[in-house]
Amino acid sequence: MTVEIADLVIVGSGPTGMAAACEARSLGLSVLMLDEQAAVGGQIYRGIEVASLPRTNILGDDYAAGRELAANFRVSGATHLGGAVVWNLSSDGTVDYVINGKSRKVTGRFVLIATGAMERPFPIDGWTLPGVMGAGAAQILLKSAGAIPTGSVVLAGCGPLLYLLAWQYFRAGIEIRAFVDTTSPSAYLRATRHIGGALRGWRDLVKGLKLRTALRQSGAAWYTGCSNFSVQGNGRAEGLAFSHRGCAVRIPASLVLLHQGVVPNTQLSWSIGAAHRWSPEQLCWEPVTDAWGRIGEAVIYVAGDSRAIVGARASAIQGRLTALEIGKQLGVASDIERRLAVLQRELRQHLHIRSFLDVLYRPLDEFRIPGRDDVIVCRCEEVTAGQIREYVELGCLGPNQTKAFGRCGMGLCQGRFCGLTVTEIISSARGVGPADIGYYRVRPPIKPVLLSELME
């Protein structure tokens, strides 16, 4: 098996990866980018190079901003391998990936994990029914294929992405049957304590307010402060039931789009045995790194949303910062302190609004820790919240031990869609903080590999 070598191997082609590649190339480093998707953009700029003008207009300015980055990346001289599924990363910088049905190896003198974010799981009754998907998933369908809902659609949950999708559907002329918002009046109150930061990031605040105004004017039924979700249907979604101001409401829908924020995609950083900390603000795990994103003493860095949720623009800046820092390690960067300082100032601008958003759109406890025992938590192996609580009663202390009781977290998704929930269920059942409960031990391969793919 031939092993290639590059100064910098980047996993992921979203804003972090593309910006890091451009910066690293400007320093003269050789760059290889690996990405599961065929084309660059990550999820936030999915389809950015091929989206038609009308589609780009529907998606809005923040999406269109990705074009320039993608174009700069294309002329940067970095090598891009699309359809490359990374299944193993070693702390010495060796990366194993499958492309065109064959496994390949590349060694990076440095490796940047830029795998971005994924939607936070939304474990409620009926969330495994066909016709229920993430709002982000529906947005990916719009970006990558121009696909729009045909039947009755309900958007439910909270967070900037949910509002953005509603606005994009409105612009595409799609009628939303109902917008079921879990943000409560008390969340607004709590968030006002962080208004200072939000005002310093006023551009983001104004953008958010404009979105909400446009939605109000769209005339879609908008329920706020909702709770107690249940997707109803036999073999497929037929409607969403919820509580609103003490009343039970049921909205018929063939498509239920759920969303309650995004969390770092940490599968790779876990798989190399990196330490992770529990973020009580963002309610998720974040890899422990130095200020530049370096994991321990390894040659591996992580930047952007896969380090901690910061959004697309801040991710791109972090990507650049990390590339500069790596350039410094390799002794190639000149004038580097000044460039770092400029970028860091820029980064701070984009982070002002974060704590405001974290508080306002904090996912409700009941949607992270299902109270009903029959709610499926592990979608792959169909393990319920009640079963996990039973394991705890029998002495199960943490996520890894659930595997001794059943197959929770052992399916093909390897805990990506149940890990956070399992940690928090055990945490609340035992009365011990999530940081002390821990997470699954993630081992390579982090994606299934066929024997035929391993053969020369």
Instruction: Tell me how far CA of residue 185 lies from CA of 192, 364, 453, in angstroms.
Output: 11, 13, 53
Closest CA relative to residue 78, chosen from 25, 39, 40 = 25
Residues with Cβ within 8 Å of residue 401, at least 6 apart in sequence: 391
Range in contact with another protein (rule: CB under 8 A) among 147-155, 156-164, 184-192, 318-326:
147-155
Cβ-based nearer residue to another protein, 381 or 390:
381
Does 37 interact with another protein (rule: CB under 8 A)? yes
Does 185 interact with another protein (rule: CB under 8 A)? no
Instruction: Tell me how far CA of residue 324 lies from CA of 1, 24, 104, 108, 312, in angstroms.
Output: 32, 7, 28, 16, 19
* Residue 22 CB, nearest approach to another protein (Å): 23
Cβ-based nearer residue to another protein, 29 or 85:
85
Does 414 interact with another protein (rule: CB under 8 A)? yes
Closest CA relative to residue 338, chosen from 324, 352, 319, 318 = 324
CA angle 141, 147, 151 (to 5 degrees): 110
CA angle 303, 308, 309 (to 5 degrees): 110
**With CB under 8 A, what is the number of residues at the site for another protein?**
54
The β-bridge relationship of strands 79-81 and 31-34 is parallel
* Residue 229 CB, nearest approach to another protein (Å): 15
Residue 44 near residue 144 (C-beta atoms within 8 A): no
What is the amino acid identity at position 97? Y
By rule CB under 8 A, what string of x and - marks binding of each residue 97-136 to another protein? ---------------------xx--------xxxxxxx-x
* Residue 187 CB, nearest approach to another protein (Å): 26
* Residue 136 CB, nearest approach to another protein (Å): 7
Give 2's Cβ-side CA count (13 Å radius): 2
Cβ-based nearer residue to another protein, 187 or 454:
454
Q: Which one of 197, 225, 296, 445 is in contact with another protein (CB under 8 A)? A: 445
By rule CB under 8 A, what string of x and - marks binding of each residue 45-74 to another protein? -----x-x-xx-------------------
* Residue 107 CB, nearest approach to another protein (Å): 20
Closest CA relative to residue 160, chosen from 105, 211, 115 = 211
Which spans of this chain sit near another protein (rule: CB under 8 A)? 36-38, 43, 50, 52, 54-55, 83, 85, 118-119, 128-134, 136-138, 140-141, 144-151, 235-236, 254-255, 265, 379-382, 410-414, 416-417, 445, 448-451, 454
